């Protein structure tokens, strides 16, 4: 009986020792679990904060996307309007270009026709002037005899009625007439002519004056 009691005591002691060891390990594991729980709660808190930040960022992103989409739609609408305006301008420029092309095609013909008509009119005018000049009778040359006769008529009180057709040109002194012209350039414009109206040229008037002074 004593041996059985001793064996049972030894078994109880062994079981108690094993229980103590298991309890120590369990306590150690509980301590590790508590530490892990704190870390896990901290991690959960961080995850929650990250979720909140992500939610806020997502809302801001949605708002930015909506604003960007609105701006983009406005830009697209403006681009469409500009495209329509450019299309209208392009069509108008094409019409203007067609009109200008037609005008440039018709203008040279009109200019050529007007130039040819102006040239023909100029030729007609020139030919008419030539005919008029050719048809105009040349003034008769009146020399010393005619001037002398005029002086005699003027001295006798007769009035000259025009050129004497029966008095042809007999004497003409070019040097004398040229000298008279040069001397009479300054005074002829200021001195009034009181002689016969038939004497029109300055040379004839000077010759008339010279012969009249000699006769006096």
Its sign, for the CA torsion 151, 152, 156, 160, is negative
Under 8 Å between Cβ of 144 and 206: no
- Report yes or no on 126 lying in a domain: no
Q: Do residue 21 and residue 109 come from a single domain? A: yes
Q: How far apart are CA 151 and CA 198, in angstroms?
A: 12
- Report yes or no on 10 lying in a domain: no
- Whose tokens are 């040379």? That residue is 203
Residues in Cβ contact with 41 at an 8 Å cutoff, skipping those fewer than 6 apart: none
- Whose tokens are 């959960």? That residue is 44
Under the banding of pLDDT at 50, 70 and 90, the label for residue 207 is confident
- Whose tokens are 């102006």? That residue is 118
Gyration radius of the chain over CA positions: 69
Q: Do residue 104 and residue 189 come from a single domain? A: no
Q: Do residue 174 and residue 82 come from a single domain? A: no
Tell me, what's the pLDDT at 172?
54
- Whose tokens are 């002194």? That residue is 173
pLDDT at 165 over 50: no
Q: Do residue 99 and residue 156 come from a single domain? A: no
pLDDT in tens, 61-78: 988 888 888 888 888 988
Please give the span between the terminal C-alpha atoms of the chain, in angstroms, as a whole number: 214
Q: Do residue 88 and residue 153 come from a single domain? A: no
Domain count, the chain: 2
Q: How far apart are CA 145 and CA 151, in angstroms?
A: 10
Q: Do residue 187 and residue 104 come from a single domain? A: no
Residue 204 is part of which domain span?
141-215
**Structure pTM?**
0.31
Least confident window among 35-39, 58-62, 124-128, 158-162: 158-162
pLDDT at 19 over 90: yes
- Report yes or no on 128 lying in a domain: no
Under 8 Å between Cβ of 202 and 188: yes
Q: Do residue 69 and residue 158 come from a single domain? A: no
């Amino acid at each position: 009986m004593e041996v059985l009691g001793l064996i049972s005591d030894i078994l109880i002691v062994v079981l108690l020792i094993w229980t103590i060891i298991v309890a120590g390990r369990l306590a150690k594991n509980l301590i590790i679990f508590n530490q892990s729980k704190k870390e896990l709660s901290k991690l959960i808190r961080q995850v929650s904060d990250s979720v909140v930040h992500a939610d806020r960022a997502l809302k801001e992103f949605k708002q930015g996307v909506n604003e960007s989409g609105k701006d983009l739609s406005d830009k697209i609408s403006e681009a469409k309007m500009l495209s329509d305006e450019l299309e209208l301008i392009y069509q108008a420029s094409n019409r203007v270009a067609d009109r200008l092309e037609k005008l440039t095609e018709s203008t040279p013909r009109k200019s050529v026709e007007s130039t040819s008509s102006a040239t023909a009119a100029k030729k007609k005018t020139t030919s008419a002037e030539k005919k008029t000049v050719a048809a105009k009778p040349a003034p008769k040359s009146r020399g010393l005899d005619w001037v002398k006769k005029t002086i005699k008529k003027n001295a006798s009180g007769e009035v000259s009625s025009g050129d004497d057709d029966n008095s042809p040109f007999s004497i003409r002194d070019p040097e004398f007439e040229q000298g008279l012209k040069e001397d009479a350039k300054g005074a002829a414009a200021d001195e009034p002519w009181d002689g016969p109206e038939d004497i029109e040229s300055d040379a004839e008037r000077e010759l008339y004056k010279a012969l009249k002074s000699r006769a006096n």
